[in-house]
Amino acid sequence: MGITAPGMGSNLDVNSIVSQLMAVERQPLALLDRREADYQAKLSAYGTLKGALAAFQTAMQGLADPARFRAATASVADTSILTATTSSTGKAVPGSYSIEVQQLAQQQKIRSEGFASTNSTVGSGTLTIQYGDYDSGLNTFTLNNAKPAQTLTIDPANNTLSGVRDAINAANIGISATIINDGSSNRLVLTAKDAGAASSIRIIASDDDGVDLDNAGLSQLAFDPTAAAGTGKNLTQVQAAQDAKFQIDGIAISKNSNTITDAIEGVTLNLLKSNAGTPTILDVARNTTGVKASVEAFVKSFNAVNQTLADLSTYNTVAKKGGVLQGDSAALSIQRWLRATVSAATGSTSGAAGSFTSLSQIGVAFQKDGSLALDSTRLQTAMDAGFDQIASLFAANGKSTDSLIAYSGATAKTSAGNYAVTIAQLATMGSLTGSQSAGLTITAGANDRIDITVDGVAASVTLAAGIYASADALAAEVQSKLNGATSLTAAGSSVVVSQSGGVLAISSARYGSASSVTVTGGNGAGNLLGASPITTVGADVAGTINGVAALGTGQTLTATAGTASEGLSLIIKGGLLGARGIVDFSRGSADRLNKLAGDLLTTDGILASRVDGLTESIKTIDRRQETFLRRLDAIEARYRAQFTALDTMLSSLNQTSQFLTQQLATLPKNNS
C-alpha cells in the first residue's frame, strides 16, 4: 500500500496532502478489518464442518460393526413357558425350534430344628460347606470341582442362632441364611445361591463339644445327605437342588440354571414354567427391521454431513448469498471424497452368488441434489436374496471358509482382500504332569500344602486332610482348591486337574506361551506329583496369513506389518495343520467413511491445516494493524512538531510586526 508521510519540504499543496492522507490512510485499516472478519467467518465455518464430520464419524463407527447387519429376533409362541432374546453379537441362525420344558432348575433349601430364641446358643467350632451332586439312588455325594469348599469358624463371639446366620451371610460363600419364626420356635433356613443339581449342599461340622455328628452343639447344623437323620444329617431338606430339564427338537438338555445361553448359539432362553407334553415353538428370524433401521441411519448420517457441506459451500439462491466456503477447495474435496467413498465398490471379492458389491444394489443411491435416498423395496428384495451379504457392504468384516477359523478383528491398516491361511502349529495349554502316582493320604501339616505357579501367578493351597477314596477324588480336591485361590481367580487363570493311572496332571485353561504350570514348593508337592514332575509350556498358534508368517498369541493369529493383510486377527480353534482355506476380508462403506472422517479430522489433516492457516493469517492481520497504528502515531508526532514550530515562528513574526508598526507610529510627523 506504500503510504508515506509527505516531507514538509516537498512542494505539495498541504490541503490536498491532508485530504489524501486522510482518505488513503484509513483505507487499509478498514480493508484489514474486512479481511479479518472474512477469515473469522471461515474459521467458524470450518468449526461447523468439523462438528458435522465428528458426528458423522461416530455414526459410521457404530455402523461399521457387522453385528448391526446380522441381527436376529427370537419369538416364542407361548411366552408363559419361556422367553428368548438374541445376543448382540449376531450369531443367531434363523430357524424354528420346538421346546418342551420338563422341569425348572431350582436351588436347594434346608432348615434347622426350632430354637427357642434367635439368641439361643448353637455351639462353636467350624462348619465346612461343600457343594456337589447328591444321588439319592446310590446315596452318594460327589463334590463339585468348580465350587471349592469353604470353612466358617463359629466361636463364642457369634455362636447364637442369629450370630451363625450373620456369619454365613457375611462370608458370602454361596448360601444365604435367614431365620424363620414359626410361632413357637426359630428355624435357620439355608438356601443355595445357585440352582442346579451340582449345587447341593453338604455341611460338615467340627464341633467344639467333641462330637461332630450328634444333635447337640454346633453339629446341630451338620448336613450330610448320605448320613442317617440325627447322626450327621441334622437339617431337613425343604427343596431339593435340581437342574432344568428340557428338550429342543427332541434333544434332551439339562442345565443348572433357568437362563440358558449356550443351547442355541446366539440365543438366550429364560425358562419360566414346565409345559411337559405340550411343546411350544421358538422362532429365530432375521431382524430385517433392525437392518433396515441401520441402513436408514447410514443414509440419514450421510445426508446430514452432506447438507452441512452444501450449506457452507454453495450459493444460496433464496438468500442471494454465497456460502462462507463457496469455492473453497478443501470443502469441495471433502464433498468429493465422501461421495466417492459411498460410490466405491466394496471389496467383497468372494464372487459368491448373490453377493453385493455396491450400495446401489440394496437400494441406496444418490439423488440429483447429491443426497442419498433409500429405496425400501429394493432393500427388502436384497435382504430376501442375500441377507448375510449386507453386513460386508457397510462393516469391516471377515469371512473364513474354515469353520474352526474365526475372524476376530482388523486394524485401520488392514486392506480388503482374500487371504490364504496356513497353520503350522496349533495353540496348546501349559501343563504339569507328576512323575509318580499321587499318595492318597493327606495329613494336615505334613503333606497338605502345595505351592504352584499358574500362567506366572503364584498360588499356595492347603488340601483337606483325609484318606482319599481315589486319585479322581484327590484330583477333584486339588482342582477345587486351586480354582478357589484368590490370586488365580483375580488373574483370570484356572486349571483342570486330571489323573491317569494315579498320576496327576494339572493343566492351565489358557492357551499359548503365557500358559504354564510349575510347582514351586510346599510340603505336599512330593506326595502329589513326585520328585520331578514334568512341566510342558503352552505353545502359541503358528502359521501364515497371505503367505507371510503371522504372529501367534494363544489361539490368536495376527498378520504382521508390511503386508496387505496387516492387522487381520484370526482365532484358530483347532483343526489340521497345513492350508486352511481363505479369509475374505472386506471393508464396507461405513467402515471406509469412518476412516475417511478420521483422516480428515486428524491433527495433520486437511481441516486442521486450513484452520492453522487461517489462524496464522488472522495473527498477521493483527500484526499489520498494530504496525499501521504505530505509523499513524509517528505521522501525528511529526505533524504536531511542525505545527508547534510554525506556531512559535508566527508568534515571533507577530513580535517583529508589532515592533515595526511601533517604529512607524513614532516617526516625526514632518517626515511621514
Residues that bind other proteins (CB under 8 A): 8-9, 11-15, 18, 21-22, 26, 29, 36, 618, 621-622, 625-626, 629, 632-633, 635-636, 639-640, 642-643, 645-647, 649-650, 652-653, 655-657, 659-661, 663-664, 667-668, 671-672
> Is residue 313 within 8 Å of 42, Cβ to Cβ?
no
Q: Which is nearer to other proteins, 28 or 484 (CB)?
A: 28
- Minimum separation from the CB atom of position 603 to other proteins (A): 25
| Between 6 and 370, CB nearer to other proteins | 6
Residue 669 CB, shortest distance to other proteins, in Å, is: 12
**Is 233 in contact with 224 (CB distance < 8 Å)?**
yes
Q: Hey, is 581 helix, strand or coil?
A: strand
Q: How far is the CB of 388 from other proteins (least distance, A)?
A: 59
User: How many angstroms separate the Cα of 142 from the Cα of each of 98, 201, 394, 536?
Assistant: 33, 11, 52, 30
| Residue 22 or 531 having the CB closest to other proteins | 22
Which parts of 151-211 fold into alpha helices (H)? 161-171
Give the nearer residue to other proteins in terms of CB position, either 484 or 613: 613
Within 441-572, where are the H helices? 471-484, 486-491, 525-529
**Shortest distance (Å) from residue 630 CB to other proteins:** 10
C-alpha cell at 19: 485530504
Shortest distance, position 288 Cβ to other proteins, whole Å: 56
User: Which of 9/277 has CB closer to other proteins?
Assistant: 9
Cell numbers 508589532 correspond to 658
SS (H, E, C) 125-163: EEEEEEEEEEECCCCEEEECCCCCCEEEEECCCCCEHHH
With contact defined as beta carbons under 8 Å apart, do 123 and 256 qualify? no
Q: Which residues pair with 464 in a beta bridge?
A: none
Residue with smaller CB distance to other proteins, 509 or 632: 632
CB atoms within 10 A of CB 583: 25
CB of 611 to other proteins, least distance (A): 17
User: By C-alpha distance, which of 394, 410, 400 is closest to 346?
Assistant: 394
Burial class (CB in 10 A: 0-12, 13-18, 19+), 528: buried
- For residue 349, the minimal CB distance to other proteins (Å) is 55
Crossing angle for the helix pair 606-665 and 329-343, to the nearest 10 degrees? 170
- Give me the least distance between CB of 330 and other proteins, in Å please: 24
Helices and strands: H and E segment counts in the chain = 11, 38
Q: Least separation, in Å, of the C-beta of 615 and other proteins?
A: 12
Q: SS3 for 544? A: strand
> Which CB sits closer to other proteins, 315 or 643?
643
Provide φ and ψ at 189, rounded to 5°: -115, 125
Residue (441 or 627) nearer to other proteins, CB:
627
Least Cβ distance, residue 610 to other proteins (angstroms)? 19
State in angstroms the smallest separation of the CB of 53 from other proteins. 27
Q: d(Cα 545, Cα 541) in Å, to the nearest integer?
A: 12
> What are the residues whose beta carbons fall under 8 Å from the beta carbon of 508, sequence distance 6 or more?
429, 430, 431, 454, 455, 493, 494, 495, 515, 516, 517, 538
> Please, what is the minimum distance in Å from the beta carbon of residue 631 to other proteins?
11
Which of 13, 604 has the CB closer to other proteins? 13
Q: Is 181 helix (H, G, I), strand (E, B) or coil?
A: strand
- Which lies closer to other proteins via its Cβ, residue 579 or residue 660? 660
CA distance 95 to 75: 11
Q: Are 273 and 103 in contact (CB under 8 A)?
A: no
C-beta separation of 430 from 510 below 8 A: yes
Nearer to other proteins, 29 or 457 (CB): 29
Our CB check for other proteins shows the closer of 316 and 615 to be: 615
